[in-house]
Amino acid sequence: MSGICNIDLDYLRLIVLDERGSGKLSEIPDDVYSEALEYLSELYSEASSIDHFMTERGSELLNEIESVQATLQDITNQRIRKIIKLAEIQADCGKTDKEELKRMLPPEEEMYDKILLAIGECRKKFTEPEFLRTTKKSAAVNQQITARVDEEILSEDYISDIIPHIDDILIKEAENEPKSEFSRPEKSGGIEYEPIYIIENIDSFMGIDGRIYNLSAEDIVTLPRINADVLYNRNIALNIGIGK
């Protein structure tokens, strides 16, 4: 043995006892596993020496190697169970023991985050319709489309120029087909969107894209075309897509 490593089997066994005796994660050095692996390497190196081949010392080294590996496995299992429990509590109640989180080693923190993510994804699959999961994935894209459409509308003075003269626009549509970004409905996640102008206040509703819309009179918003058609039929909204 080189004597450089500060960890031995007795030290590792103390960690096991500490983990078993507490329902919470024990505080262990960040380098405990790297030191333990170095310790194992030294044991392997000594055991593989020809000087200990088929000797009593060679047998002792092999037994110690097996004991160290089993003890490391025990420590790991004890801590993994506690980390999984912490993730379950966080996912169920939103409660986190910050002090216990501080006792996690970096690889354990990474595992904890992945478990939380996996629990959330699994629950969505079991509790949310597939179309809602699909549309939520494109929610960020939809928001970007809405922002871009709203910016374009404002920059071209749609509110002041188009809305007051909507009848004139409908007449001109038959004569001309202006080339515009809105000449065709936007598409996202297989859903067509189009910009509309809200005429009167309406109650909140959920669009076919899974988003909840809270709209008031004079709002300009990009809405799924199917939802927009319903508002048109009820004289609640006007279509401001030029190429409609």
24 DSSP 8-state letter: S
Shared domain check, 81 and 43: yes
Count up the domains in the chain and report the number: 2
Q: Which pLDDT belongs to residue 54?
A: 74
- Residues 180/161, Cβ–Cβ less than 8 Å: no
Which one of 93, 127, 161 terminates a domain? 127
Domain encompassing residue 107: 9-127
Burial of residue 110, with CB atoms counted within 10 A of its CB: 0-12 exposed, 13-18 middle, 19 or more buried: exposed
pTM here is 0.53
**Length of the chain (residues):** 244
In this structure, is residue 4 part of a structural domain? no
Among 26, 7, 30, 6, smallest CA distance to 15 is for 26
CATH code, domain with 22: 1.20.58.2050
Reported as a single tens digit per residue, the pLDDT across 42-59 is: 988 888 887 877 788 888
Reported as a single tens digit per residue, the pLDDT across 153-166 is: 455 454 444 444 44
Shared domain check, 213 and 155: yes
- What does the alpha-carbon distance between residue 62 and residue 2 come to, in Å, rounded to a whole number? 17
Task: Return the ∠ at Cα 208 (arms to 206 and 213), rounded to 5°.
Answer: 30
Shared domain check, 225 and 188: yes
Under-50 pLDDT residues of the chain? 1-4, 140, 153, 156, 158-167, 169-184, 244
CATH code, domain with 146: 3.40.5.50
